[in-house]
């Protein structure tokens, strides 16, 4: 069984979600909650980006002692100096520096040749390694990079002192099979690959961030990067709560687990949603309002008889109180009677059957039937006698 390290970038890539801007105390509050969740690494921000980012990364590095804290730096000496200034007092200072490697980024963004990209990467990784004990290097847009060139530059940055190599799917372009093959290729073509850990960083533009991250694990990645609730640039990053629960539930399949305290997931998700203002979609896996809600009569009847008929995850595993039976037009008699009973509105069987017809008529006109609706139906029946 392998232990996969969880690298949380909610405060860096997550904060890059359009419209999100967290202040100093909000970032600190999130970092404390991520520590309770027991992530391995917190990417606290981008120290060179602004004075505010520098101050919050510094404060988080000084405060958080049970996780490693890191900060992002471009392949620029002044960025690395800013990262060192902010992170040097941390429990385990580590830097995350990156440079784009794909032809499209080399030509249009960096305007550099392959040789110049290698030279910049090597020079900046050497500089970073002269300060930081742990240097993570990311090949931005790795999944659209020529594989021989990707292997070449990775070998050179390892020689220069990188200890973790991250393979970002920056634009969420790759498929699970292709992403796994990239990891396999690198493991077969980079001579020094066994000296470093391999990390996956997936974006969700095609809705494949989690599938790609799991494929990376099957092909040798030992660190997964992502955010809580999957927030992040454009369609977001891999949602860490989904990844951790997938590994927990399908443990036999993946033979890998994380150190996350799964019970803290619901609290962490609500906090991030509240502070970022990004509402969690109701049908979002693991943390959505409907993730443990049953509406149809067939499902409700099954769950009332035996939960595992329609629940592969127990809500309390991730810190939710219980599942819920949403009463609506698809609900059945079993759930209806059960809810009356929970509300202390016990009625005889024959009466319940009559009330169920009234309930169905009303449910046809309403999206969801509330407890007040049920009480009103029972009261009306009693008054009409």
**Burial (CB count within 10 angstroms: exposed 0-12, middle 13-18, buried 19+), residue 30:** buried
Does 13 show up as a binding residue in the annotation? yes
Contact residues for Zn ion, defined by CB under 5 A? 13
Partner in contact with 229, chosen from Zn ion, ligand KIV, none, beta carbon below 5 to 8 Å by kind: none
67 versus 72: smaller Cβ distance to ligand KIV: 72
Does 201 show up as a binding residue in the annotation? yes
Selection from 82, 88, 85, 53 nearest residue 69 by Cα? 88
Partner in contact with 212, chosen from ligand KIV, Zn ion, none, beta carbon below 5 to 8 Å by kind: none
Contact residues for ligand KIV, defined by CB under 6 A? 13, 72, 98, 138, 140, 166, 168, 170, 201, 203
96 versus 329: smaller Cβ distance to ligand KIV: 96
166 versus 331: smaller Cβ distance to ligand KIV: 166
Does 237 show up as a binding residue in the annotation? yes
Give Cβ neighbours of residue 383 (< 8 Å, ≥ 6 apart).
none
202 versus 245: smaller Cβ distance to ligand KIV: 202
CA distance 113 to 106: 7
Partner in contact with 140, chosen from ligand KIV, Zn ion, none, beta carbon below 5 to 8 Å by kind: ligand KIV
171 versus 262: smaller Cβ distance to ligand KIV: 171
Does 203 show up as a binding residue in the annotation? yes
Partner in contact with 5, chosen from Zn ion, ligand KIV, none, beta carbon below 5 to 8 Å by kind: none
Using Cβ positions, the residue closest to Zn ion within the complex turns out to be: 13
CA distance 298 to 331: 8
Pairing, β 256-257 against β 2-3 = parallel
The minimum distance between CB 203 and ligand KIV, in angstroms, equals 6
Partner in contact with 269, chosen from Zn ion, ligand KIV, none, beta carbon below 5 to 8 Å by kind: none
The minimum distance between CB 172 and ligand KIV, in angstroms, equals 9
The minimum distance between CB 10 and Zn ion, in angstroms, equals 12
The minimum distance between CB 105 and ligand KIV, in angstroms, equals 10
Partner in contact with 138, chosen from ligand KIV, Zn ion, none, beta carbon below 5 to 8 Å by kind: ligand KIV
The minimum distance between CB 5 and Zn ion, in angstroms, equals 17
Partner in contact with 331, chosen from ligand KIV, Zn ion, none, beta carbon below 5 to 8 Å by kind: none
203 versus 329: smaller Cβ distance to ligand KIV: 203
CA distance 283 to 231: 15
The minimum distance between CB 100 and ligand KIV, in angstroms, equals 8
The minimum distance between CB 23 and ligand KIV, in angstroms, equals 22
96 versus 294: smaller Cβ distance to Zn ion: 96
Partner in contact with 98, chosen from Zn ion, ligand KIV, none, beta carbon below 5 to 8 Å by kind: ligand KIV
What are phi and psi for residue 238, nearest 5 degrees?
-60, 135
168 versus 319: smaller Cβ distance to ligand KIV: 168
Question: What count of other Cβ atoms lies within 10 Å of the Cβ of residue 8?
Answer: 30
Residue with tokens 């996969």: 4
The minimum distance between CB 147 and Zn ion, in angstroms, equals 21
Binding-site residue set for Mn(2+): 13, 201, 203, 237
Binding-site residue set: 13, 201, 203, 237
């Amino acid at each position: 069984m392998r232990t996969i390290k969880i690298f949380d970038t909610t405060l860096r890539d997550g904060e890059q979600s359009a419209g999100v801007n967290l202040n100093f105390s909000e970032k600190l509050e999130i970092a404390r909650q991520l520590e309770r969740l027991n992530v391995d690494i917190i990417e606290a921000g981008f120290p060179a980006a602004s004075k505010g980012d520098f101050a919050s990364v510094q404060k988080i590095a000084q405060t958080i002692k049970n996780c490693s804290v890191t900060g992002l730096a471009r392949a620029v000496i002044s960025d690395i100096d800013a990262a060192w200034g902010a992170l040097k007092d941390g429990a385990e200072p580590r830097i995350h520096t990156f440079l784009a490697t794909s032809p499209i980024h080399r030509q249009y963004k960096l305007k550099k040749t392959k040789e110049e990209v290698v030279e910049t990467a090597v020079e900046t990784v050497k500089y970073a390694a002269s300060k930081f004990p742990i240097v993570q290097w990311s090949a931005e847009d790795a999944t659209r990079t020529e594989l021989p060139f990707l292997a070449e530059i990775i070998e050179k940055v390892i020689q220069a002192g990188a200890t973790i190599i991250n393979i970002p799917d920056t634009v969420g372009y790759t498929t699970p099979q292709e992403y796994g093959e990239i990891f396999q290729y690198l493991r077969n073509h980079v001579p020094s690959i066994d000296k470093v850990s391999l990390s996956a960083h997936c974006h969700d533009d095609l809705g494949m961030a989690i599938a790609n991250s799991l494929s990376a694990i099957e092909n040798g990645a030992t660190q997964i990067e992502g955010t809580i609730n999957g927030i992040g640039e454009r369609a977001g990053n891999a949602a860490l709560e989904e990844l951790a629960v997938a590994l927990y539930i399908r443990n036999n399949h993946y033979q890998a687990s994380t150190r996350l305290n799964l019970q803290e997931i619901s609290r962490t998700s609500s906090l991030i949603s509240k502070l970022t203002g990004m509402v969690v979609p109701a049908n979002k896996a693991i943390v959505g309002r409907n993730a443990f809600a049953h509406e149809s009569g067939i499902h409700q009847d099954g769950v009332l008889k035996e939960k595992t008929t329609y629940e592969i995850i127990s809500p309390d595993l991730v810190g939710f109180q219980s599942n819920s039976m949403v009463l609506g037009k698809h609900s059945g008699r079993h759930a209806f009677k059960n809810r009356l009973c929970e509300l202390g509105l016990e009625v005889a069987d024959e009466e319940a059957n009559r009330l169920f017809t009234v309930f169905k008529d009303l449910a046809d006109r309403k999206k969801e039937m509330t407890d007040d609706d049920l009480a009103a139906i029972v009261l009306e029946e009693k008054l009409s006698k």
